[in-house]
Amino acid sequence: MAAVADDASMDAVQRRLMFEDECILVDENDVVIGHESKYNCHLVEKIESLNLLHRAFSVFLFNSKYELLLQQRSETKVTFPLVWTNTCCSHPLYRESELIQENYLGVRNAAQRKLLDELGIPAEDIPVDEFIPLGRMLYKAPSDGKWGEHEVDYLLFIVRDVKLLPNPDEVADVKYVNRDQLKELLRKADAGEEGVKLSPWFRLVVDNFLMEWWARVEQGTLLEAADMETIHKLV
């Protein structure tokens, strides 16, 4: 319980999630090798000493105008508070429904669960078979001196018009952007204007994949870009 005592100042909701959620540990080929608490998976000390690598997902949700939904992470988030990022970013948990490998159903189930948790989007509005897995990337990123990320991240796209009811424990703000508005957000982040910060995983996707894939969303050719064989190592 020493870890709990050490983090007594942590927001109660985030502390519960940190200690109750069990992330899926994988090797660099995304083969499941075990499980570990969300807390330990995000401690830089554990990431470095044990090379802990866990499975994650990033959802990119577009409306029928092909605008991308962004969220600003809550101030109480343990890692990367108040940064702007893609629609939803989280982890499949070490449970039967989220370990299913076939058709990436475990990751899709987790995405559906977290879109409800974070943004209030009901499952019937985002059927699991509507998520398009486009690729996987492996990256490592520090949040501060104590916390960080080391993930194999599944990149999921979906085009749906949805109603939002953001959870303030998870999300500080939301907005839809077109490509020009996203470029302006990137400019502000690069210039340090208005305190704008972007999550490192979102920036990696923007810099390596997003604009091409966004064009394919508009053209209706997104499936042609899918490559789930490769794990892009962006570390």
pLDDT in tens, the chain (235 residues): 233 334 555 666 555 556 579 999 999 999 999 999 999 999 999 999 999 999 999 999 999 999 999 999 999 888 889 999 999 999 999 999 999 999 999 999 999 999 999 999 999 999 999 999 999 999 998 877 789 999 999 999 999 999 999 999 999 999 999 999 999 999 999 999 999 999 999 999 999 999 999 999 999 999 999 999 999 999 7
Q: Which domain holds residue 163?
A: 12-233
23 catalytic residue (yes or no): no
Give the count of beta carbons closer than 10 Å to the beta carbon of residue 17. Answer: 20
Candidates 22, 36, 151, 170; catalytic one: 151
Q: Which residues pair with 26 in a beta bridge?
A: 32
Q: Which residues of 107-140 are buried (b: 16+ CB within 10 A; e: fewer)?
A: bbbbbbbbbbbbbebeeeebebeebbbbbbbbbb
In the chain, the number of structural domains is 1
CATH of the domain at 66: 3.90.79.10
> Looking at the domain assignment, is residue 3 inside a domain?
no
> Looking at the domain assignment, is residue 7 inside a domain?
no
Nearest of 203, 198, 231, 208 to residue 55 by alpha carbon: 231
What does pTM read for this prediction? 0.91
> Looking at the domain assignment, is residue 220 inside a domain?
yes
> Looking at the domain assignment, is residue 5 inside a domain?
no
> Looking at the domain assignment, is residue 198 inside a domain?
yes
Candidates 89, 98, 118, 170; catalytic one: 89
CA dihedral sign of residues 31, 34, 38, 42: negative
96 catalytic residue (yes or no): no
